[in-house]
Structure 1
Amino acid sequence: MLLDTHQNPIGINAAIFLVASCAVWWGGTRLTLHVDRISHLTGLGQVFAGMLLLGVITSLPEVANVITASSIGNPALALNNLLGSAAINIFLLAIGDTLVRAGALTSVVASPSTLMMSVLCILVLIMIAIAVTVGDVRFLGVGVWSVSITAVSVGSFWLASGYGHRSSWTVSDEAEDVRDKTKSEAVLQESLRAAIWRAGGLGLVIFLAGYALSQTGDAIAEQSGLGSGLVGFALIGIATSTPELSTVVQSVRIRRYEMAFGQILGTNFVNLSLFVLADAVYAGGPVIGELGQFEVLSALIGAVLIAIFLIGLLERRDATLGGVGYDSLTVILAFLFGLGLLAFHG
């Protein structure tokens, strides 16, 4: 049964929203350590662990929001949350750079998979902008564009995940720890099971908190008069992206730079693949038809932010200002400018 937050005063909804955001942050911070341990014990590697484990689990708030917002007849709130998260996740990657101040992150990230993910994610966001511009038609209960966006997102995730092994590039990852090889197999297996169970428990916490965020966010959008577009992009987008910020900061602190990028871009692929879920849950027409110029601008902002980091990844120069990479500072300024455009347009 859906939580009826529309009957609550806006102050109570804001308090629930804050508590749920804190729960998402708490779960995301601890999740990184367990995923890092799983990557060590299984040999998945930083990029793949970031994409597959962190990317999927930290997308659970968006999954909860898409299901609940679409089921109550507000798909615009759900899709703006997805587009907002795509841009905000890149913004939070830059914020993680400023908080840790370990130098330009792009100067120490050289995985071919990260470059491939960046390019593919830009293409998916441009595809969404095109879909909203030309409109959609419904076939077998879902929009054709929604199915296409989901298929390309999933395909991009799969293509990028194995690109590191197929690429002819050779990369020396100095950040990877040398693991203790004296542990017995039984101890390793026990540690792996414990890490998986803990990661699963934290994923459940993040999902439930994401459900609370979507319910209170919908009520706040109505009670404040700000509208689904801006609330979905900024307020809920930031709140549901708090696990990404916590995991990024934690990944950078423990020198898992590839994991940080893999998690952010992997999360974007997972989030954007949820378009077909919103279409399937929504009882009206194609959800793409509920979107407009606001969402086109949102998608293009996300593409521009990724492109800025892609330039930094290709340059691989440790150019910093106050210990923060120039590309991270540019991403922050570009995001704030884009948010101002959205607020003005909205």
Structure 2
Amino acid sequence: MPDLATFSSPVLLALFAVAALVIAVLGSRMAGIADTLADRTGWGEALIGSILLGAGTSISGIVASISSAADGAPELSVANAYGGIAAQTMFLALADIAYRKVNLEHAAASAVNLGQAITLIILTSLPILAVTVPPFAIMGVNPLSPVLVLVYLIGLHNAHSIKREPMWLPRQTDATRDEEDDEENDPHSTRFLAFVFLALVGVVGICGWAVGQAGIELSERYDLSQGVVGALLTAVITSLPELVTTVAAVRKGALQLAVGGIIGGNMFDALFIAASDVAYRDGSIYHAISERSLFWIALVVLMMAILLMGLLKRERQGPGGIGWESLLVLALWIAGAGLQAWMG
């Protein structure tokens, strides 16, 4: 890999722009493939959104976090992870604005998404507990990191169980969109689509590495806080696939895929800190971060709790044609981003 420290600042900024464009364009194609695979496999949009689309579109973010941690930038690594989760949750509010018929959370009713939202809150709360206890690591890895992976796998298993044998079903209204409402008409074989999806994941991952490395270099050159760069720059750029795929899924009418892709992607993103803990060789990464990163972790818990309430209440119409939860989530992210930028 090239040494980005040898690049001039204009070249680094151009690299940021090109990486963002590639991530956005390929992300749109990934959404279409994921929707088709959801129909063909029978797994359902919510589950496919969380596993395939969520993890696939998150590859740029996890590469950015791991590479930053390995290079001794834990603050940027963790801020990139949770800043990305916050930004992606906010993207659902933007998707709600794009879906003008009713509140998105009303139309995209899914018990699977409810279960995954709860799992995400658990995954996000655990690192806060790790920060408050004395530092402890085995071979440089905090014991919480493998626990996070275990909780994630249990969450996926529960989501599959909810999909297979649901004990709770959302009330159907004239505005509720079922997965059966979508038509699948891609002429390519399932194997070919899976291969294309993996190839796109690889390219997006390379772009994620470039974004993470460029972020470290720019924070040093311009004396910027790694937390600000991670949460407001690299996090937003590496989250572009989620924005593009969510809006694309909403326009296709794959509403459960849109919501499931964000929540499932956020579940996967919550593992960034575990992977970064392994890559960070100076001890437990949970004890190498500042209150700025804790702010984003706590903000994510608050935003997800509000989103979960919206998914449960299923308000049909709110202010400006969107749900109250979308309005609150959007306001929280803007306020949080503004506060962190003002703090420098």
Shift in Å at residue 213 of structure 1?
0.8
Question: In the superposition, relative to structure 1, how do residues 304 and 174 fare at CA in structure 2: closer, same or farther (>3 Å)?
Answer: same
Structure 2 residue matching 1:322: 3-state secondary structure:
helix
One-letter amino acid matched to 2:58: S
One-letter amino acid matched to 2:164: H
Are residues 1:117 and 2:116 paired?
A: yes
Aligned to 2:264: 266
Question: In the superposition, relative to structure 1, how do residues 149 and 193 fare at CA in structure 2: closer, same or farther (>3 Å)?
Answer: closer
Taking only aligned residues, the RMSD between alpha carbons, in angstroms, comes to 2.2
Structure 1 stretch displaced more, 298-307 or 125-134? 125-134
User: Could you tell me how far apart the structure 2 residues matched to 1:109 and 1:135 are?
Assistant: 43
Are residues 1:159 and 2:162 paired?
A: no
Q: Provide the TM-score with structure 1 as the length reference.
A: 0.91
Aligned to 2:242: 244
Question: In the superposition, relative to structure 1, how do residues 219 and 229 fare at CA in structure 2: closer, same or farther (>3 Å)?
Answer: same
Aligned to 1:211: 209
The one-character-per-residue Cα deviations of 1:185-224 (angstroms, maximum 9, x if unpaired) are xx98x52122112212211221111111111111111112
Shift in Å at residue 301 of structure 1?
0.5
User: Could you tell me how far apart the structure 2 residues matched to 1:201 and 1:56 are?
Assistant: 14
Shift in Å at residue 344 of structure 1?
4.3
Aligned to 2:130: 131
Structure 1 residue matching 2:94: 3-state secondary structure:
helix
Aligned to 1:4: 3
One-letter amino acid matched to 2:285: V
Aligned to 1:176: 179
Contact 1:132-1:289 within 8 A present in 2 as well: yes
Are residues 1:280 and 2:278 paired?
A: yes
Structure 1 stretch displaced more, 121-130 or 318-327? 318-327
Shift in Å at residue 128 of structure 1?
1.6
The match for 1:341 among 334, 339, 342 is 339
Structural mapping, 1:1-346, within 5 Å? 1=1, 3-171=2-170, 174-177=177-180, 191-346=189-344
The one-character-per-residue Cα deviations of 1:257-300 (angstroms, maximum 9, x if unpaired) are 11111111111111112323212222211111211211211111
User: Could you tell me how far apart the structure 1 residues matched to 2:132 and 2:121 are?
Assistant: 17
The one-character-per-residue Cα deviations of 1:284-342 (angstroms, maximum 9, x if unpaired) are 11111211211211111111111111111111121233332222121111111122333
User: Could you tell me how far apart the structure 2 residues matched to 1:221 and 1:197 are?
Assistant: 36
One-letter amino acid matched to 1:70: A
Structure 2 unaligned regions, length at least 5: none
Structure 1 unaligned regions, length at least 5: none
* Percentage of identical aligned residues: 28
User: Could you tell me how far apart the structure 2 residues matched to 1:110 and 1:325 are?
Assistant: 14
User: Could you tell me how far apart the structure 1 residues matched to 2:261 and 2:36 are?
Assistant: 15
Equivalenced residue count is 340
Q: Provide the TM-score with structure 2 as the length reference.
A: 0.92
Question: In the superposition, relative to structure 1, how do residues 314 and 20 fare at CA in structure 2: closer, same or farther (>3 Å)?
Answer: same
